[in-house]
Chain A
Amino acid sequence: MVDGPLHPDALVRARGLTKAFGDFVAVDGVDFEVRRGEVFGFLGPNGAGKTSTMRMISCVSPSTGGELSVLHLDPRTDGPAIRSRIGVVPQEDNLDTELSVWDNFIVYGRYFGLPRRVLRERAQELLEFARLTDRRDDRVDPLSGGMKRRLTIARALINDPDLVLLDEPTTGLDPQARHLLWDRLYGLKRRGVTLIITTHYMDEAEQLCDRLVVMDQGRIVDEGSPRELIHRHVTPEVIELRFAEPAEQEAALSSAGEAAERIEVLADRLLLYTRDAEATHRALAERSIEPLTELTRRASLEDVFLALTGRTLEE
């Protein structure tokens, strides 16, 4: 158990939590707290330690250092009790391909020791939730990627969990399937289910998360709501400039000077952070900087990550 006063609604609490595989430290002493009813996000590139953290929370991977409590219990000794109260959606669907859609619900529910009568009711509701009612008796294999994902998520809800862990829930889905899935996750949020999400998609984190931590190389580099993080690290507006030649970008950079508060140089473009895009545009025109394309947008978590780590997420 973690010592010290708990936030009364802290469902997950980590202090100095560490996971090492031999010499490689995947999670390097992280502190965080997830409160009841919120959507909490781990944002970071692949390899940042998000999945390792999730596996520790879901009690399938023992921590190698620090403290962790989940649902006020200790994963080291109360694994089965904790797992009976959480729902886990892994990065790759691990549906039971030997069973039908319906049996996936029933059999999975039986692992939690739930009576069949209860399971039949819940499975019916969850089929509707996943919009798979007409595929009830089909096998899992022929379902589309989006359907499998929805089924995996719905199946994770069969035990009516207090806490649902979703690892990269929309990776590999087409935009339409992603939006349908987000809609389902909003639904859960409205019902007061506590969600923990890992993602390397900025838009996903911004849309879904109440609070999030930014992870990089096993460490937490900052935390807060998406709005707070943007406010703290970057200006509200960004202008992206692309040039025909690297030399032009070079020249523009040296003459842009005071046109923006801060300038980030990427391989293929310049990012100008500003509080007043109009003024910046005027300043660029005065300096006769004429990029190939010019895009003005709101600052996003992508910019926060860049400011915090000096790297883009897709690298």
Chain B
Amino acid sequence: MRMTQSVWRALERELLVFVRTWRGSAFTAVVQPVLFLLAMGIGLGGLIDDGAGSASVRLDYLDFVAPGLLAASALLAVAGEALWGVMGGVKWMGQFKGMVATPMTPGDVYGGLVLSAGVRAGAAAIAFLVVAAVLGGVSSLWAPLAIVAAVLLAIVTMSALSAYAVRKEDDRTFPLIMRLGVIPMFLFSGTFFPVEQLPEVVQPIAVLSPLWHGVEVARDATTGTVDGWTLLHVGVLVAIAAAALPFGVRGFERRLTP
């Protein structure tokens, strides 16, 4: 793997861009999930907790949906950036080409992106947890572990999707990735209702969804049900990221090496 120490320079650059543009990032990463939490957790939760439904989550709906949204927003906040942001960096605005004209390697640029996605998702998760706790959607001291879920999901999303995006000549297929990959994942990974409600034939597919593993970790953490399974889910996320990284480094090298 050809990442060098300059990867920290790349991280620094990404974080600097983030500081300059924090207003927007803060919206997608924090305000948007909090709005979802209010709408789903409080507004819709009020209807669900009446218990008139045929199925149940065995928890207050707010407690159920808060960790789901925490994990899902890490996926959603990073996905667009990994696709269109990377296309912008290599093609439309070309700032990555400027970066590799310095001692930074293409691997550093990629590593910087992945690391900064993790750092920002972590910061957003902390802010979200605080809000969720105030609203009463956090019931365990294990809750900070949910931050790990958000960070890992961000790293998985950025490393995999940017590895794909960097190999593409234009953004024509990106809406397909969002509509047929990211959005279904968001909707059916146990974020809004338990996976057990899905038809039995479909349920195994959820296991393939990184978001489901992330949601499980976050929910175990905020509801205080951490056990060996939690660790297993963490392991799956780490494994996916580890598998995507070399693929991404190679992609960035091919694209950015003159």
Contacts and interface: CB of A to CB of B under 8 A. Distances in A.
Contacts of A142: 169
Nearest to A141: B170
Contacts of B169: 141-142
Interface string B147-174: 0000000000000000000000110000
Contacts of B170: 141
Contacts of A141: 169-170
A138 to B, nearest CB: 12
A69 B169 CA distance: 46
A271 B170 CA distance: 51
Interface residues of A, number: 2
Nearest to A142: B169
A141 B169 CA distance: 10
B188 to A, nearest CB: 33
A142 B169 CA distance: 10
B173 to A, nearest CB: 14
Interface string A114-126: 0000000000000
Interface string A126-147: 0000000000000001100000
A141 B87 CA distance: 15
A314 B169 CA distance: 36
A141 B170 CA distance: 10
A84 B169 CA distance: 36
A248 B169 CA distance: 56
Interface in A17-64: none
A60 B170 CA distance: 31
Nearest to B91: A141
Interface string B162-192: 0000000110000000000000000000000
A306 B90 CA distance: 43
A142 B170 CA distance: 11
A150 B157 CA distance: 42
A276 B169 CA distance: 59
A141 B171 CA distance: 13
Nearest to B170: A141
A15 B170 CA distance: 48
A240 to B, nearest CB: 37
B160 to A, nearest CB: 26
B172 to A, nearest CB: 10
Interface string A204-247: 00000000000000000000000000000000000000000000
Interface of A: 141-142
3 contacts: A141-B169, A141-B170, A142-B169
The list of the 3 closest CB pairs from A to B, nearest first, reads: A141-B170, A141-B169, A142-B169
